[in-house]
Amino acid sequence: MNFFGLHLILDFVWAIFLLEFITSLKYDLEEKYLFGILSFISSILAILVGIKLIVIYPEILKQGGWLHAKLTLLFLVFIENIYLLYLLLKKKKIKSLIYTFMFWFSFFVIVSAVFLSMFRPF
């Protein structure tokens, strides 16, 4: 099985669910619980497949800084995902502008992570 392709697909799925989760929180949609659960599950799956890739191909850690940069970016998005789940469960609201910032931050970070995975620029 091609774990690299699976990992990229899981990153993409996580991005879609996370962006939908942020949007549903911003506009207080009923689907916010569904997207919150799906974004968290897809993030865990992406992390587990990523760990499996590092275990199967340990030499990938020595290829350059691209993997460390990707892991750092995705760690920030994962922390954001947990924070959004906290807001959802505690029924707290934040300003619409902050949701907009989180949306675009997550979008650009995940696009950057996919770029780093595909092209390994450094």
The model's confidence at residue 31, banded by pLDDT at 50, 70 and 90, is very high
Give residue 102's domain range.
Answer: 3-119
- Which stretches of the chain are DSSP H helices? 3-26, 32-56, 66-89, 96-119
Query: How far apart are alpha carbons 57 and 61 in whole angstroms?
Result: 8
Sign of CA dihedral 98, 99, 103, 104: negative
Which whole number is the average pLDDT over 59-83?
Answer: 91
Predicted TM-score of the model (pTM): 0.92
Q: How many domains does the chain have?
A: 1
The model's confidence at residue 61, banded by pLDDT at 50, 70 and 90, is confident
